[in-house]
Amino acid sequence: MQGYLCLQDGNSFQGQASQQWDAATQGEIVFFTGMTGYQEVLTDPSYKGQIVVFTYPLIGNYGINENDSESSQIQVSGVVMARCAERATHYLATTTLKAYLNKHNVPYLTEVDTRAVTKMIREGGTRQASLSNTTTTKFGVPMNNHVYKSKGAGVQTYGKGSMHIVLIDFGWKKSILTSLVNKGIQVSVVPFTQIDHLDDLKPDGVVLSNGPGNPKDVQNELPKIKKVLDHYPSFGICMGHQVIALAYGANTKKLTFGHRGANHPVKDVVTGKVFLSSQNHNYVVDEESLKDTSLVTRFFNVNDGSVEGVSHKEKPILSAQFHPEANPGPEDAEWLFDDFLKMIKLKKEEKAYV
């Protein structure tokens, strides 16, 4: 069956459509440059409401397994590929990518010139698009505030350990939780709208999670978030990084086409070292806006110079625009979790001498 990827500016691309197609699907079109990691991408809440173009020519060759999903459901609105493997060749695979998308009624297109689509996004920026069975698509108003739709309903606790961390939920990935639990830490996941009584949980520190959409969507919650940041050692990841910057008076802005993939070089201002990172974001912290705040740039993107992380001048606060939990992607930045835990221990020692 033929289908079409239609961009809001009038351009369209033809491909082979999945059989479950019964209505046009609209979303913000973005591209992902990784060769692997498609299951993590599809289930990452940060991709909620987006149509993802996979730039690697063949997607799905190792299938879908029971371990690599970042949430309990597919988050993307649609998928565009050049080719999708018919068979799953990995020994842990339980189904093929096509069967997985069909089962969850997620529309997809194959046999699309993804190189041309990616070039169009790079030149004209991310924009609304639709997957449809016709080239005459009417676009509705884009859905906003995905972050409020992605957060959990209540407090959940995982793992055991002498250290207790609260993961503030903007649409968290399973791998962030797993990275913390594997270090012998008890983790309580708390929706960002329910942090009024966070003190009752008596955490040693807080991690602000990733999440979808514009970080300014949580503007009304910033005073409460800043109160938490002022009191506890904190570590922000992706959306969490941007929220920390906003809470301390900095500004965020939208990139033309964002950073998505497992190959983005980042430089650490403190050590001078460069490492590869896994990224997924449309928005960045405006470096100029940091000048009159208590935050300074800790990491920056080698390709375009954008801010990739900040630290507080006095308080134990650190953030990363990239994903140190590395799913999907390289594990170069996993040490950031250890650095955060060291910050917590130093804070405890300071209190012990007071």
Contact 164, 204 (CB under 8 A): yes
What six digits make up the tokens of 30? 């973005």
User: Which amino acid would we find at residue 311?
Assistant: S
Catalytic site residue from 238, 264, 281, 312 = 238
Q: Is 238 a catalytic residue?
A: yes
CA distance 41 to 316: 31
Per the DSSP assignment, residues forming a β-bridge with 191 are: 169
Catalytic residue among 164, 259, 312, 323: 323
Residue among 28, 40, 221, 325 flagged as catalytic: 325
Catalytic site residue 323? yes
- For this structure, is 84 an active site residue? no
Residue matched to tokens 């093929």: 96
Convert 38-63 into a string of H (helix), E (strand) and C (coil).
HHHHHHCHHHCCEEEEECCCEECCCC
Cβ count near 201 (within 10 Å) = 16
**DSSP line for 118-159:** HHHHHHH--EEEEEESSS-PPP-PPP--HHHHHS-SS-EEE-
Which amino acid, residue 140? G
Give the residue numbers marked as catalytic.
238, 323, 325
